[in-house]
Amino acid sequence: MINKLLIILFYLTFTFNFSQAKDKGIELFNDKKFAEAVDYYKSVIEARKDDPSAIYSLGSSSYFNNNIESALKNFEKILNTSDKALQAKALYNIARILQDQNEIDKSLSLYKKSLELNPNDIDSKINYEILKNMSKQDQQNADNQEGEQDQQNADNQEGEQDQENADNQEGEQDQEKKEGLETLANKESQMEKEKTDQMMQAEAILNAIKGQEKINQKHKILKLKTYKFDKDW
């Protein structure tokens, strides 16, 4: 709807400016014979090379004949003339073309320059305000989208960090559990070894005691025998 409105305003602006050109050019344009209008205004320019109205009308006809490059070229020529009113209209049309090409910032700048030359131009005011609001909305949407993306990235990063922390914690717990089991096994092995050593020591002591008793018993026997021998002798 907005684009349709802007095109209508664009068309009406061009048609209005043709009133200063030759009647034949106006008739061709109004009949939508844009190719013939282009040829007509080219012939006028050949006869009057510095005619701003003819150059402007050639730009208008070229635009509607789908030759955007030629339209821009002729409108830009008008900016070098001394006709401020025509300059304002040329700026408006260039801004409109750049708007179609999504050159929003450049388009807004040219609409503003057009209004500086002709503050009473209703078409420029309307298009400028519409485009400015659209630009603000686009920027707001872009900011919102960027904010959502940043939040999503932050959430993803936080989730990854939580998962990493969980994995690390689980890994640490597994390691601690493993180390605990190893420590327990080592303690059990050490206890078993100590128990074995103690048993061996106890057995050794017992054997030593038994051996000592045998030795003592033997000594007692020897003494008795010796004593007996001495007594008999």
The domain that holds 95 is classified in CATH as 1.25.40.10
Q: Is residue 58 part of a domain?
A: yes
Q: Is residue 82 part of a domain?
A: yes
Q: Where are the alpha helices (DSSP H) in the chain?
A: 2-17, 23-30, 34-47, 52-64, 68-78, 84-100, 104-117, 122-232
- Give 211's pLDDT tier (boundaries 50, 70, 90): low
Q: Is residue 225 part of a domain?
A: no
Give dist(CA 92, CA 126) in Å, integer. Answer: 11
Q: Is residue 28 part of a domain?
A: yes
Asked whether the predicted pLDDT for residue 135 surpasses 50, the reply is yes
CA 100 to chain centre: 27
Question: What is the tens place of the pLDDT at every residue in 138-189?
Answer: 778 777 777 777 778 877 788 788 788 777 777 777 777 777 677 766 766 7
If one counts the domains in the chain, the total is 1
Q: Is residue 36 part of a domain?
A: yes
Asked whether the predicted pLDDT for residue 74 surpasses 80, the reply is yes
**Residue 63 structural domain:** 2-120
Asked whether the predicted pLDDT for residue 124 surpasses 70, the reply is yes
Asked whether the predicted pLDDT for residue 204 surpasses 50, the reply is yes
Give dist(CA 89, CA 96) in Å, integer. Answer: 11
- Among candidates 117, 104, 94, which has minimal Cα distance to 10? 94
> Angle formed by the axes of helices 52-64 and 2-17, to 10°?
150
Q: Is residue 73 part of a domain?
A: yes
For residue 52, CA distances in Å to 27, 62, 90, 92, 101 come to 19, 15, 11, 16, 26
Give dist(CA 206, CA 212) in Å, integer. Answer: 10
What pTM, to 2 d.p., does this model score? 0.55
Q: Is residue 169 part of a domain?
A: no
Q: Is residue 45 part of a domain?
A: yes
By the 10 Å C-beta count (0-12 exposed, 13-18 middle, 19+ buried), 159 is classed as: exposed
Question: What average pLDDT is seen over the chain?
Answer: 77
Give dist(CA 30, CA 46) in Å, integer. Answer: 23
Residue with more model confidence, 145 or 207: 145
Residue with more model confidence, 114 or 165: 114
Asked whether the predicted pLDDT for residue 231 surpasses 60, the reply is no
pLDDT at residue 214, rounded to an integer: 55
